Structure 1
Amino acid sequence: MSETVAPRPSNWNLPNALTLLRIVLVPFFIWAFVADGGAYGPLRWLAVVLFVVAIYTDKLDGDIARARGLITSFGKIADPIADKLLIGSALVMLSVVGELWWWVTIVMLAREIGITILRFVVIRYGVMAASKGGKLKTVMQTVAIFVYLLPVTPAQPWLSLVALVIMLAALAVTVVTGADYVMKAWQLRSAGRNSAGKNSSGSNGPGAIDAN
């Protein structure tokens, strides 16, 4: 009796559409932030709203994908890329206007870009999904950026201190989880090569039937 294989979910689904929406919102967020020009007025608030909406789509697309069984390889790759575009642009903008140290932004971006490249390098062996540590890192970065973005933060020393403490904690988690992803990529690559080696030896080794 043959088993019925469930069809793979199509890439054209609601969670992936929300991921693409998050990417589309990034340039609008940047525009609102830049157009404010340091006035901390309505456009800065608009940037905050766009950031919050974009971040919410990250939670929403994940919830829908898991609830409806719509997890796809495209989503596993596109979702973290969308997060990196949004968070990376926010970090850069904050550094450009002098509200966040550049070295913090550089370390975080180096980690994000490096892990993204690593995902594509090992994709032939499998897809590296976001880990719990990676999700914690994203949450901490998001909270820190949100506090930094608030127009009232620069005028409130205590709020600026809160934002800095959360950002430095997020930085620590960013570095630790980056090292963890490197280890997972190495293990994934090693497992893939070992599997390929076994398949090769199984087809050509003793007892195998030569198709030629």
Structure 2
Amino acid sequence: MKQSLPNLLSILRMIAVVPIAWGLWEHGSSLERPHNWVTVLIVVALATDALDGWMARSKGLSTEMGKVLDPVADKLLLLSLFGMALIWGKIPWILMGLMLLRDVLIVLIGLRIKVKTGVTPPARFLGKVTAIMLILTWIVVYYAPTQALLHESAMIATVLFLVLSSIDYGRYAYRTLSKT
């Protein structure tokens, strides 16, 4: 059971996406006034991301399944948060498009590396920083709706990190696949 606890947290995070998306759909047209249960669920989901990663690394509970489940759970959560923000007109479509493009490319590249080498690609530092930037940008959009300069700055920084992390993943894939 202990071995699978990080995986269970990732699965619970994936399940939490449904009520989070529903809560934002039902109550999120006025993103200035988040409902407490949605906020709590988002915070818990984000906390499980940190917790499952810490448990897997520090306690030696990392599994091949967890190396797949964790990033999938992260992508589902972030895409649902930003998808709802896009629906309500709080973020530009280009930001969502870049997120989707990057995530699809990462998944396809990761599958290619796994098939060619048998190794699941590790998380990249710039990818983690980008995820943090995405979360911070979403928080700004959700909780500081009247701060236009802050919105624009956060979105520009996030786009920059989306591009940089995409380049980093591409370089990693090129180096890895060139060795095979």
User: TM-score by structure 1 length?
Assistant: 0.77
**Separation of aligned partners in 2, 1:188 and 1:11:** 32
What is aligned with 1:30? 21
SS in 2 for 1:13: helix
Q: Alpha-carbon deviations, 1:71-125, whole Å to 9, x = none?
A: 1121112211111111111111111111111111111111112111211121121
Larger displacement relative to structure 2 (140-149 or 45-54): 45-54
Q: What does 1:93-112 correspond to in 2, within 5 Å?
A: 93-112=84-103
Equivalents in 2 of 1:37, 1:173: separation in Å? 26
Shift of 1:186: 1.9
Match of 2:57 in 1: 66
Alignment partners' CA distance in 1, 2:153 and 2:35? 22
Distance 1:18 1:81 in 2: 12
The CA distance in 2 between the partners of 1:141 and 1:178, in whole Å, is 14
List gaps (5 residues or longer) in structure 2. none
1:122 aligns to what SS in structure 2?
Answer: helix
Aligned positions of 1:83-162 closer than 5 A: 83-124=74-115, 125=117, 126-150=119-143, 153-154=144-145, 156=146, 158=147, 160-162=148-150
Residue of 71, 80, 84 corresponding to 1:80 = 71
Q: Per-residue CA shift, 1:134-177, capped at 9, x if unaligned? A: 11111111111122222xx33x3x3x432331222021111111
The count of aligned residue pairs is 178
- Which residue number corresponds to residue 18 of structure 1? 9
Greater fraction helix:
2
For the aligned residue pairs, the C-alpha RMSD in angstroms reads 2.0
| Residues 137 and 154, structure 2, Cα contact 8 Å, conserved in 1 | yes
TM-score normalised over the length of structure 2: 0.90
Judging changes above 3 Å, is the alpha-carbon distance between structure 1 residues 174 and 187 closer, same or farther for their aligned structure 2 residues?
A: same
- Are positions 1:172 and 2:160 aligned together? yes
For residues 17 and 31 of structure 1, the distance between their equivalents in structure 2, rounded to whole angstroms, comes to 22
Contact 2:10 2:69 in 1 (8 A): yes
For structure 1, which runs of at least 5 residues remain unmatched after alignment?
A: 1-9, 194-212
Residue 189 to residue 30, structure 1, CA distance change in 2 (3 Å): same
Larger RCO (alpha carbons 8 Å, 6+ apart): 2
